[in-house]
Amino acid sequence: MKKVKKYSIILVVFLIAGVGFSFVTDNNGKYFQIAKNIEIFTNLYKEINTYYVDDVDPAKLMRTGVDAMLESLDPYTNYISESEIEGFKYMIDGKYGGIGADTKDIGGDITIVLTHEGFPADEAGLKPGDVIVAVDGKSTEGKNSESISDILKGSPGSTVNIDYKSPGSDKKKQVAVTRKEVKVPNVPFSGMVSDDVGYAALTTFTQDAGKNVSDALKKLKKENPNLKGFILDLRGNGGGLLREAINVCNVFIPKGEEIVVTRGKVKDWDRSFRTLNAPVDEEIRVVVLIDNNSASASEIVSGVLQDLDRAVLLGQSSYGKGLVQNTRDVGYNSKVKLTTAKYYIPSGRCIQAVSYKDGEPLDIPDVKRTPFKTQNGRKVLDGGGVKPDLSLKDAKLSNVLKGLNKEHLIFKYVTDYQMKNREVAAPDKFKFDDYSGFMNFVATETFSFDTDTEKTLKALDKEAEDDGYKELIQSEIKSMKDKILQNKKNDLKKYQSQITESIEKEIMKRYYYQKGKVQIGLRNDSEIKEAVKLLNDANKYNGILK
């Protein structure tokens, strides 16, 4: 611990010396303030480590200080420690060194919830529902899923020994899994959603996103010469690499088109980005699906195609992240990912949300957003995300389905279902038809959920007690609670269709991986149906863009 303190002090002294040198040439006193406050911070850090009543972990203390400092900036400026580098590489490249399995803490057990097709966990026979009880001889008891996931990651070629139990068995098994580079597909599914409309889901803008969308469209055109329209699904896509956003745009717009301009404090870093390749198709009708979780690179693609009147956007307003991040090395194999610029799309607008609450962007009324114009003269707005050309009401999850997901009951039911069914039909033919069996399963589990109305009543009950009115309205509150309870018992039947869709997706994920989940989800997707309808109506499509 003394060594850590000594090195920390030496490091900060060097920082102060460097800053002090810059201070000599600075006229506005900014570098003096930096040097002064670093010295105060160093002295504070030293005093706490030396005299605080309990032993202090210097690294943990410093991390708390760093995180608190960065929290005062935007939510996208973060410190990435050496132990977090693998996760960071996955966000950027879509690949990491590991076994190719996702885990979650379910009822205190570290449970595999997804395996990626053809990767080490899948090849070793591990399946969703298996419980990991030890890794390299060390028990997982009391550990969280995130820490176990970090242990399972590692250098390709290295081996990890996993002790696990399969569903329905108390017998412990062991398997040695050789890690390798895991690359998760960013286009998990593409195909036809009607006789003449194609579709591709892009889940993240990792490496080769543009190429994969391009290849998907080329394949659909080759196999379907009468292809009239194409749906690009960016719902839930949180973004990724800027260059891949440009490459995806390039699939539909010509070479040499300006896509994005970035501007920040360091003027030498300001850049203009243009398409570099010939497009796949400049004429095909395109609908882009977006929602509240479409962010960053997703907003570049949807915003650019809207500004150039190249596609119709359908869905809900996007997230509102118009910022560019870069990473800088800060020593000891750690980095800081910080916002260095804002991006501006062809109309001249930036879609960045201007304020946040709890790390989430706040809604900006249209009257407070500056209007811009698309290439054809249509009005579009800056700030607060990209607004779709055709807004659709978001299909909200029922409270009962939220409750089932929170208690992992659909996951547990499908684990039981998989033990009884070795095979199921392909995604385009499968239909779940044992809802009564699911209801019987739920009846054997402890299951409860609160509706928004019940939460309001609980708050009202407390307020009434604080104000001295509880006795006055107690009978009315009880009557309302009883009525809600009676209705809740019927919610499993009332929302059967929505719950069945969720069960079908989980089943397909088990037998046909992520691709199967996406494919079966298209069958009852109302937004896909609206997109197909629009693409088949040339007059309406062209009318929106003109």
Known catalytic residues are 296, 307, 321
DSSP state, residue 20: H
Q: Which residues contact 97 (CB under 8 A, 6 or more apart)?
A: 86, 153, 154, 155, 156, 158, 179, 180, 181, 182
- Alpha-carbon span 13 to 19, nearest angstrom: 10
User: With 0-12 CB in 10 A as exposed, 13-18 as middle and 19+ as buried, what is 449?
Assistant: middle
> Which of 181, 314, 186 lies closest to 244, judged by CA?
186
Q: Which residues contact 281 (CB under 8 A, 6 or more apart)?
A: 217, 221, 230, 251, 252
Q: How many CB atoms lie within 10 A of CB 351?
A: 30
- Alpha-carbon span 198 to 532, nearest angstrom: 9
**Treating both helix axes as pointing N-terminal to C-terminal, what angle do 242-250 and 209-223 enclose, rounded to 10 degrees?**
20
Per DSSP, the chain holds a count of helices (H) and strands (E) of 18, 23
Helix, strand or coil, per DSSP, at residue 218: helix
- Evaluate whether 197 touches 220 at the Cβ level (below 8 Å): no
- Alpha-carbon span 477 to 461, nearest angstrom: 8
> For the residues of 399-422, what is the DSSP string, one character each?
HHHHHHHHTTHHHHHHHHHHHH-S
- Alpha-carbon span 50 to 44, nearest angstrom: 10
- Evaluate whether 305 touches 294 at the Cβ level (below 8 Å): no
Q: How many CA atoms lie within 13 A of 317 on its CB side?
A: 20
